[in-house]
Structure 1
Amino acid sequence: MEHALIEELTTTAIEAAAVAAEVQRAGWATGFRVNAKGDHGDSVTDIDIAAEAAIRQCLKIARPDDSLIGEESDAPSELARICWIVDPIDGTANYLRRSDDFAVSIGVAVDGKHIVGVVQQTATGRIWVGSPEECARDGEPIRVAQRSNLADSIWATGFTTDPHDRERQLRFFSHLMTSVRDARRTGSPALDLAHVADGTVDGYVEFGLGHWDYAAGAALVAAAGGVVDIIDVAPWKGPLVIAAGTQFLVDEMRNVLRRAQVPNV
């Protein structure tokens, strides 16, 4: 892919993330409304909706012919070659509780491949940027950890709000915790994947995700030299995302998932 296009997509993603982050900060300053989302206690705020609208407006000006898939809006009927996959607040439950662990997540797919990822942690100002030409946290180059022993590795994971899916995730979690050194959970898949990219954790595994949950993070991990597998686990709710610094760890985590009887791994 040509350098000029990658540079334009990356610059636009950074600018759109900054605009959404400003909306988030304004929400903390002025207050916001919280509504139930779905049937299982998930929440959405009017800041989620306003931040996504701000991102959409940025892209309408900068890249009017591209498609956009956003968590808070209907998917387009047809997708352009370049598609933006946006989570305006990844970690809404953390945002409404004023925890730092939420982020703007903006991924760009070209011909179906995750190419550019920007994750901005608004509360701290930290930003991860990844593309085929760079991978950095706050402007400093980053790489995935190169751990080769599953028993010594630390993994990030998460849980859905759906009680039935959570039962399955908890059964897998028991297998996970007897196979690895430890596990972490931020409540934000985008931040978890960013932490794989910068080596804070060795891997990330979770199923029941939306495309907006992992698109930016998948691009970050790939740009940082890592491996990302995205697997359809139907009839369970998917997809399943496995991301790690090495192919060996991904393969070892597949073995753990098989022991937990997760489909199709």
Structure 2
Amino acid sequence: MYTSHELARIAADAARQVGPYLIEAFSRPRTVELKADFHDVVTVHDKESQRRIADFLFAETPESFIVGEESSRMLTCDGRPGTPGEGDVVWYVDPIDGTSNFASGFDHWCVSIAAARGGALTAGVVYQPTTNTLYLADDAGALRNGQPMRVLDAPVEDGMIATEFPSARIPDPEEAARGFTRVVAAARSVRRTGSTALALAEVAAGHFLAAFNVGTHPWDVAAGALLVERAGGRYLGFDDTSVYRRDPQNAPNFVATGSRQAALLALSAVGRADAKALAAGVWDA
């Protein structure tokens, strides 16, 4: 049985070992392919870096499973679909979180790797190769380059909020625009960083007051969710009807913050009429 600390070390080593490859690729012209449409791109380096990370993780934890952005299915070490048992390690891998930034030559992207057992997150790493910045979370806490992190709890007018909301695929763009405008009016500043994992890491570090988004995937948020929680914050994963308490990384929407006021603002922005009750369920639990 691997400890949380051991899994975090393995994740950190996996992220670091792919760093030189990604830095070299980032320095050269990049060709992109489209996924769903031109808003959603992928490069050959996403696929190759996920292969390298998977090879490393399976070498260290051969009985584990991986679900990653470039596969989206739960895979075993021989590349076949599988179903993990309660005690099995599942790795969530985003080899390049912020692919549009990477493909455009904009230096704001990262590697995100997290480990879970029975759906519960136990270790997570967000690594920014170009700055050699490592965010790490395990049962002992959350660190940025070896230094403890703590979320910010402040009035919304004193903090920055990160979000990719609304996206091009939002069902009701006019209502979403009104929600976004409320956030812009209330917060000191709003940032669209293009990397959900880095935004969550910066919430954990106390640089952003909050981050929120809709339509995410587990590999986007798993490591960052644990970083926020281990840094003393709250990560609320939810869908239209439910709150995901045991496995928040599997929820399609999230709010991450150390501030109840910021959580209320974000939940209201994405159209949750029950924002107060949702926030109370998390903060008063």
Q: How far apart, in 2, do the equivalents of 1:208 and 1:259 lie?
A: 15
Determine helix, strand or coil for the equivalent of 2:115. strand
Aligned-residue RMSD, C-alpha: 2.6
Separation in 1, partners of 2:15, 2:143: 15
Structure 1 counterpart of 2:39: 41
Contact 1:23–1:50 (8 Å) recurs in 2: no
Aligned 1:97-246 pairs, distance under 5 A: 97-147=104-154, 149-159=155-165, 162-165=168-171, 167=173, 169-233=176-240, 239-246=252-259
User: For residue 114 of structure 1, what is the amino acid of its counterpart?
Assistant: L
Q: Give the conservation status (yes or no) of the 8 Å contact 1:40–1:163.
A: no
Q: Which amino acid aligns with 1:153?
A: G
Secondary structure of residue in 1 paired with 2:266: helix
Helix, strand or coil for the counterpart of 1:72? coil
Q: Which residue of 1 aligns with 2:244?
A: none
Q: How far apart, CA to CA, are the structure 2 residues paired with 1:23 and 1:129?
A: 21
Give, in angstroms, the shift of residue 240 of structure 1: 1.2
Q: CA deviation at 1:127?
A: 1.1
| Deviation at residue 261 of structure 1 after TM alignment | 9.1
- Quote the Cα distance in structure 2 between the aligned partners of 1:78 and 1:162: 33
Shift of 1:188: 0.2
1:255 Cα deviation after fit = 4.2
Q: 1:253 to 1:161 in 2, by over 3 A?
A: closer
> After superposition, what is the alpha-carbon deviation per residue over 1:33-80, rounded to whole angstroms, capped at 9, x for unaligned?
311111343110000000000010001100111111100014124134
Structure 2 CA distance, aligned partners of 1:247 and 1:116?
25
SS at match of 1:11: helix
| Match for residue 53 of structure 1 among 51, 54, 57 | 51
Structure 2 residue aligned with 1:87: 94
Q: 1:187 corresponds to which letter in structure 2?
A: G
Listed one character per residue, the Cα deviations across residues 180-224 of structure 1 (whole Å, up to 9, x for unaligned) are: 222112110001000100000111111111111111100100111
- Match status 1:78 vs 2:78: no
Query: How far off is 1:160 after superposition?
Result: 6.6
Secondary structure at the aligned position of 1:84 is classed as strand
State how far apart, in whole Å, the 1-side matches of 2:134 and 2:99 are: 18
- Describe the shift of the 1:258–1:42 C-alpha distance in structure 2 as closer, same or farther (beyond 3 A): closer
**CA 1:253–1:14 in 2, change beyond 3 Å: closer, same or farther?**
same
User: Offset of 1:126 from its aligned partner?
Assistant: 1.0
> 1:214/1:163 Cα in 2 relative to 1: closer, same or farther (>3 Å)?
same
Counterpart Cα distance in 2 of 1:75 and 1:182: 37
What is the CA-CA distance between 1:18 and the residue it aligns to? 0.9
Distance 2:43 2:184 in 1: 33
In the alignment, structure 2 segments of 5+ residues that lack a partner are: 75-81, 242-250, 279-285
Q: For the structure 1 residues 126 and 174, does the alpha-carbon distance in structure 2 shift closer, same or farther, using more than 3 Å as the test?
A: same
TM-score (norm 1): 0.88
- Number of aligned residues: 259
Q: How far off its partner does 1:230 sit?
A: 0.2
SS of corresponding position for 2:186: coil
SS state of the match for residue 178, structure 1?
helix
| More displaced stretch, 184-193 vs 17-26 | 17-26
User: In 2, Cα distance between the equivalents of 1:246 and 1:143?
Assistant: 12
Contact (CA 8 Å) 2:180, 2:269: kept in 1 or not?
Answer: no
Q: CA deviation at 1:115?
A: 2.0
Instruction: State the distance in 1 between where 2:233 and 2:216 align.
Output: 20
Which amino acid is 1:184 matched to? R
Q: Which runs of 5+ in 1 are unaligned?
A: none
Give the letter for the 2:137 counterpart.
Answer: G
What percentage of aligned pairs have identical amino acids?
A: 31
